[in-house]
């Protein structure tokens, strides 16, 4: 199972709320928050740290009965070849973070995972031609006329989040290049739902990864990517008080 934790940074505009949740994150994340120059970045970093705490706590509670008052957990991190972070003390728990607009996303899994959230904005002219592979662009052009502007924007951002999630799954990041991958949506009951499928990298032998779109927040797209077929996704929206 992949667990997704989503929260809005709005409540952190209150100084007292900000400080209360600052005390609920680990020391490493606290230092990252202090290093952020912009207030919005501070809120995002803090909230990411808190979602990590909740996610690890939930994962561990299944095995050890860990209680909510255990927050903050003391966490330390190691990093992969390209900088992807891992929990040093919880090697069997994997995580991935993303943020866009006012929302922060944290994915927790028992295996490698990539996740991305994107706010829907006006699509800039030529952006698909610049970043997507030839195969992806052909697919977009085939469906563009038949689904309407709003649905086309939804599909574009679903594809964008899938590609971002895959780059975060591999740990290579933007160095991988969006145009090096091809998205294949699964057909369900004879109609394309654009909700799940496989993304293949054209240059790597270990190319196949599964993805799933999670529609939770209006005007946002969320995608999760895994090397194993994705069966269950648990989504928890965290409300700050």
Q: What pLDDT band is residue 189 in, cutting at 50, 70 and 90?
A: very low
Averaged pLDDT for residues 139-146 = 80
The domain locations on the chain are 2-115, 117-229
Q: How many helices and strands (H and E) does the chain possess?
A: 6, 11
* DSSP calls for 125-156: TTHHHHHS-HHHHHHHHHHHHHH-HHHHHHHH
In whole numbers, what is the pLDDT of the chain averaged over residues?
89
pLDDT, tens only, 149-188: 788 888 999 999 999 999 999 988 777 888 889 999 986 5
Classify domain 117-229 at the CATH superfamily level: 4'-phosphopantetheinyl transferase domain (3.90.470.20)
Query: CA triplet 104, 72, 17: central angle to 5 degrees?
Result: 55
- Give me the pLDDT at residue 82, please: 86
Under CATH, which architecture does the 2-115 domain have?
Answer: Alpha-Beta Complex (3.90)
* CB within 8 Å of 155: residues ≥ 6 apart: 140, 143, 147, 194
Query: Do the domains at 2-115 and 117-229 have one common CATH topology?
Result: yes
Pairing relationship of beta strands 94-100 and 103-109 according to DSSP bridges: antiparallel
Token pair 């709005």 is found at 10
pLDDT class for 124, splitting at 50, 70, 90? confident
Least confident piece of the model among 15-24, 93-102, 147-156: 147-156
User: Whose CA is closest to 32, among 94, 97, 81?
Assistant: 97
Q: From CA 17, how far away is CA 35, in angstroms rounded?
A: 19
**Least confident piece of the model among 110-114, 168-172, 214-218:** 214-218
């Amino acid at each position: 199972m992949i667990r997704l934790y989503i929260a809005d940074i709005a409540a952190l505009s209150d100084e007292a709320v900000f400080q209360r949740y600052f005390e609920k994150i680990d020391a490493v994340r606290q230092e990252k928050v202090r290093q952020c120059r912009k207030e919005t970045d501070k809120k995002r970093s803090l909230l990411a740290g808190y979602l990590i705490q909740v996610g690890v706590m939930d994962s561990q509670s299944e095995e050890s009965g860990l209680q909510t008052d255990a927050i903050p957990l003391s966490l330390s991190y190691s990093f992969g070849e390209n900088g992807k972070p891992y929990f040093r003390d919880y090697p069997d728990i994997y995580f991935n973070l993303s943020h866009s607009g006012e929302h922060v996303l944290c994915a927790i899994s028992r295996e490698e995972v990539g996740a991305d959230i994107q706010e829907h904005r006006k699509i800039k002219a030529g952006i698909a031609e610049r970043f997507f592979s030839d195969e992806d662009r052909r697919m977009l052009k085939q469906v563009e006329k038949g689904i309407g502007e709003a649905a086309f924007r939804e599909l574009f951002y679903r594809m964008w989040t899938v590609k971002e999630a895959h780059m975060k799954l591999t740990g290579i990041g933007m160095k991988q290049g969006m145009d090096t991958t091809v998205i294949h949506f699964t057909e369900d009951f004879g109609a394309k739902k654009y909700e799940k499928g496989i993304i293949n990298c054209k240059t790597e032998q270990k190319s196949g990864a599964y993805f799933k779109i999670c529609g939770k927040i209006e005007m946002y797209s969320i995608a999760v990517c895994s090397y194993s077929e994705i069966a269950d996704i648990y989504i928890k929206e965290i409300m700050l008080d």
